[in-house]
Structure 1
């Protein structure tokens, strides 16, 4: 849905209301993905913080462009001292969104796009921790991507195409906000009526974005299999759930949190927090959202 809302592909940084840029430094970036594709995005930081201690890569949901998330970033970056952490937020539009190459947005293509965004971040920030933040569809993308990344140099295991890079060790955090378990699950949630055909066709969807299966496999990794970044992050992830989410059923996000638990050690579980009264798109307006994310970032810095 890169076309929604109308005009989302044509907006410029100059079109952003000044109040949404207050206190921010916003830089437009362009990242190449191969010889014929390019990705447009922004890097945002607070004006009072020149040397970031953490970099967050933001995976957007299924509409709009990075400029629409500026109020979210502004809220996070305006956390009062001393709890505020100097950080940079990288938000890049995948193919068919905003000014990025208008190719058909397949699962394989978007995963490739965000892997190049990750490479860009690791090159730009070689000595600070990286946190992945996914909202809605972006949450499923973050889970599916990290399930394909390995810190090992040679993570060969059957026919699974892992991407290996020792620099992935820099990825220290995973924040998921209102993520869904899979596209087939979403279809059945949106069309629960038995007389509607979509729920029966859901298993046939081509791009499933099956975050639940990826998380379950990470929790049940067999001895000898190469550890993925998701294996490492799942038990320390933060999952934020809007209590009154009208798009993604809250129980889906909680199912994902349950799947991330280690069945052999139930005490070693990801952090999940229900944001009271929040809807799908306004979790960032709750005080709890900012407190939980800031606390999570500080915990990662303490162990860095």
Structure 2
């Protein structure tokens, strides 16, 4: 839903700059794997010596670098989410080792914000891989210990898990340290069956005709087969009015079955879009990212 709310595609980063400080954001335009023009919001806190925010992978004064790639939910665009993402980034910096720099990159799917094209699962999968490819090309350097974290909210958790499964199979130079799944569901088919369990309704039989089939369960199984597994955070909202509770139970069961290193954090009383608007959820994401990217 890239056009909801009205005016979502005309949002501007500068309109949110004041509330995001000291995090500084910039827009980066790239080409997806099929040539479609896509946009990224790239943000970080300037280094203590007064250096500028790193948008092009310039040399960092820090020894470590963690890049967090964010995949949004179904509606709106990245700029209105920047204050929330900035708050999490500030919490991370307050708790992380001083020799580590953190950069957050938010993808505007094709058809969203200033990205061209029309949204589709196959296209968004290409966009996600293009963003991860750009991160590797931009930030990998011989003198930097770089680590990657993927963070997806709602349908973005499906995008993030699918991207992680694809990326982890082919990219060895950029270690995937963590995967955050905020208010996730197992798959679109699973959601359809959960929302319409009645056998006398036709909906549960129509899943072969769905346009999108995001399947985090299948993605987790692919991740489990990888040599180096990332840590996982499952973060449901206890009053989620969109995703039924059975979905997080299914994902947790899959994680246990596959012996994945995961933790679950319930955000008590939160609705579907409120998990990380609350301090409890922000703390959970920040703590997880610091722990997942810090050596024991």
Structure 2 counterparts to residues 18-167 of structure 1, below 5 A: 19-34=18-33, 36-47=35-46, 51=60, 53-79=65-91, 82-84=94-96, 86-103=101-118, 105-126=119-140, 127=144, 128-151=146-169, 164-167=170-173
CA change 1:144–1:81 in 2 (3 A) is closer
Quick one: distance in 2 between partners of 1:269 and 1:145? Answer: 18
Aligned equivalent of 2:288: 296
Please tell me whether the aligned partners of residues 109 and 115 of structure 2 are also in contact (alpha carbons under 8 angstroms).
yes
> How far apart, CA to CA, are the structure 1 residues paired with 2:26 and 2:232?
28
SS in structure 1 at match of 2:177 = strand
Q: 1:184 to 1:11 in 2, by over 3 A?
A: same
* Counterpart secondary structure, 2:152: strand
1:149/1:20 Cα in 2 relative to 1: closer, same or farther (>3 Å)?
same
Distance 1:188 1:64, change over 3 A: same
3-state SS, counterpart of residue 206 of structure 2 = helix
The CA deviation at 1:142 is: 1.4
Q: d(CA) in 2 for partners of 1:144 and 1:41?
A: 19
User: In the alignment, which residue of structure 2 is the partner of 1:157?
Assistant: none
8 Å CA contact 1:10–1:98 kept in 2: the answer is yes
Counterpart position of 1:275: 267
2:250 counterpart residue number: 255
Cα distance in 2 between the residues matched to 1:21 and 1:206 = 36
TM-superposed deviation, 1:207? 2.3
Aligned equivalents of 1:178, 1:278: Cα separation in 2:
10
Q: Which runs of 5+ in 2 are unaligned?
A: 52-59
Which residue matches 2:235? 240
Equivalent position of 2:3 in the other structure: 3
Matches within 5 A, 1:192-231: 192=197, 196-216=201-221, 218-219=223-224, 221=225, 227=226
C-alpha displacement of 1:196: 4.2
Give the number of equivalent residue pairs: 276
Q: Contact between 1:218 and 1:260, CA under 8 Å: does it hold in 2?
A: no
Partner Cα distance (2:33, 2:267) in 1: 40
Q: Alpha carbon RMSD of aligned pairs, Å? A: 2.5
Q: Which residue of 2 aligns with 1:284?
A: 276
Deviations 1:250-295 (A, max 9, x none): 33123212212245x5xx6411111111111111132322222222
- Does the 8 Å CA contact 1:56/1:90 hold for their aligned counterparts? yes
State how far apart, in whole Å, the 2-side matches of 1:131 and 1:195 are.
Answer: 43
- Structure 1, unpaired ranges of 5+: 152-163, 222-226
- Give me the TM-score of the superposition, normalised by structure 1: 0.81
TM (norm. structure 2) is 0.83
